[in-house]
Amino acid sequence: MKIPLAKPYLSTEEAQAAYDTVLTNWVTQGPRVQEFEEKFAAYVGSKYAVALSNCTTALHLAMIMAGVKEGDEVICPSMSYIATANSIMYVGAKPVFAEVNPETFNIDAAHAESLVTPKTKAILIVHQIGLPADIDAFKSICDKHNLVLIEDAACAAGSAYKDKKIGSHSDLVCFSFHPRKVITTGDGGMITTNNEAYYNRLKLLRQHGMSVNDRVRHNSDKVIFEDHVEVGYNYRMTDIQAAVGIHQLARLDWIIEERRKIAHYYLIALADIPFIRLPQEPEGYFTNWQSFSIYLKENSPIKRNDLMQQLLDMGIASRRGVMTTHRESAYKEFAKGLNLPISEDAADNSIVIPLFVPMKREEIDGVITGLKKCFGLI
């Protein structure tokens, strides 16, 4: 049996939607993108949504919206995919790495606040593999110190915090539709906001700062000449991607329900392994289980890398836990004098195991049996 780590849930409906869109001859940003934006905003409960080429470009534009400039500092977790910190570097600012909570591996609010300086412009929180961070705690910190809150919700489509969907709590929330995420458009991203000024400028910046978009010019019965009102970017989503996204969004709740069933099965079946700590979902938090990560305790009879290799030898894919950016070569200058023992321990001793929809019961049981064999329990 070969069990992949993840795979997108795509059907003939998505293929047909892409096919139909191609036949309209409108394949770049157009009416399907607008439809996807409106439906996504309605789903998460925000006033506006702006579709983009991926989540990294969304984070970049969020930095610009927040007014982050060269010489500024932005607090974020090191324990996140490198795109989180990269978005800060794109605008010439400095990422200041905060520790994570040892229970959830989300950014720790108290440590983040201790890092605030006169140079701090924003705090970039990450909803780690779908589990929301403590948004209210960070909103309070940002209000207290006059900072902008940005949410890296790359993994969190459909997750919720205190009964409200991620995407509705603050004004700069960035999502990913990469194939490893719960829903996909092949690649793609989205920013949700309740701020009309942000919304209007985001639409400009994603399309070269163009004052009138292609769809408006195409539908006009008058000749229109556009102006490029500021230096922008080519960060557009295509209509082909959006057509796929519309169908993916329609089944998002069902996909999450199925993922939660698999995660619940894992939580029960793996509870008797004394060498691991299982992920948790605190009260008031709702995770989409974008990934299922297990942490190896000190008493584990097998090291993390050896465990991954043994699983792979059985045909079971896995991945290391979430990386720590400050230990990557591109960020070695930021590692000097930095002390993040919880982040480093979590990254070094965690693995992500297969979870996807649909996942056959024999595949789920195969992962469970494989893990127990590796730990010498069967």
Radius of gyration of the chain (CA): 21
- Contact indicator for 37, 50 with CB cutoff of 8 Å: yes
- Backbone φ/ψ region at 101: left (φ over 0), alpha (ψ -120 to 50), beta: beta
Judge whether 181 counts as a catalytic residue.
Answer: yes
Q: 113: Cβ–Cβ under 8 A, 6 or more apart, which residues?
A: 141, 145
Cα–Cα distances (Å) from 209 to 69, 95, 201, in that order, read 19, 27, 8
Nearest-angstrom CA–CA distance, 231 and 229: 7
Residue of 162, 165, 181, 261 with catalytic role = 181
Which residues belong to the active site?
181
